[in-house]
A and B are shown apart, each in its own frame.
Chain A
């Protein structure tokens, strides 16, 4: 059975801290892995990772995929209160279906 597991489930940090969120997967017909940020409504797209070892970066956020060890990490440096959200990773299979992980709830306190 395909599954996506994220850790930790929740995290509380102070502003300015750096956090690393983990996503491990066991899937068949893997195509890509994605990271999303969800606040109150729909998830907001962050990154799509298809190739192993290539870091994607956007401002203070970065992510990388390891297809050999079947995991991905999302790094956030110099965290701000606006980074507080649930971070979801998801994979797309070759049938273009999305399956989401359990999510990590991040709280950044001033």
Chain B
């Protein structure tokens, strides 16, 4: 079945660092990928919709200059958290839309980001 790979799974870094998270669709082409953020014991919050070859669509309240999304190919979308601060610490999950099959999207395993 369709697989989405997300990397890294865990990252710890100092405040002020920029962190890049990759989301790859391994056996299918994903024209659309989604980025979510999840705080402890809370639900997934859609941050942005990433479309291959065009600018991402951000949800209200999400800073596009803070969370840079690039979807340069049909199998890769990246989320860069720029100048990360402790309040950016969270669990970030990507997903890719699947055109056919029972499931409408497949999730990556998530990235746990901890900013010190």
List residues of A whose CB falls within 8 A of some B CB.
32, 34, 41-43, 45, 48, 88, 90, 92, 96-103, 105
- Chain B count of residues within 8 A CB distance of the other chain: 22
Residues in B whose Cβ lies below 8 Å from that of A105: 41
Residues in B whose Cβ lies below 8 Å from that of A90: 44
- Complex CA distance for A92 and B6, rounded to whole angstroms: 22
Known: A42-B110, A96-B32, A97-B34. A88 touches B104 (CB 8 A): no
- Complex CA distance for A101 and B46, rounded to whole angstroms: 11
- Complex CA distance for A92 and B104, rounded to whole angstroms: 9
**Contact among B42, B102, B110 with A103 in the assembled complex (CB-CB below 8 Å):** B42
Does the CB pair A96–B43 fall under 8 Å?
no
Does the CB pair B43–A100 fall under 8 Å?
yes
List residues of B whose CB falls within 8 A of some A CB.
6, 32, 34, 36, 41-46, 49, 93, 95, 97, 102-105, 107-110
Residues in B whose Cβ lies below 8 Å from that of A32: 104
- Complex CA distance for A92 and B87, rounded to whole angstroms: 29
Residues in A whose Cβ lies below 8 Å from that of B34: 97-98
- Complex CA distance for A99 and B105, rounded to whole angstroms: 13
Residues in B whose Cβ lies below 8 Å from that of A101: 43
**Contact among A42, A97, A99, A103 with B107 in the assembled complex (CB-CB below 8 Å):** A42
Does the CB pair A97–B49 fall under 8 Å?
yes
Kindly provide the distance from the CB of A86 to the nearest chain B CB, expressed in whole angstroms: 8
Residues in A whose Cβ lies below 8 Å from that of B93: 42-43
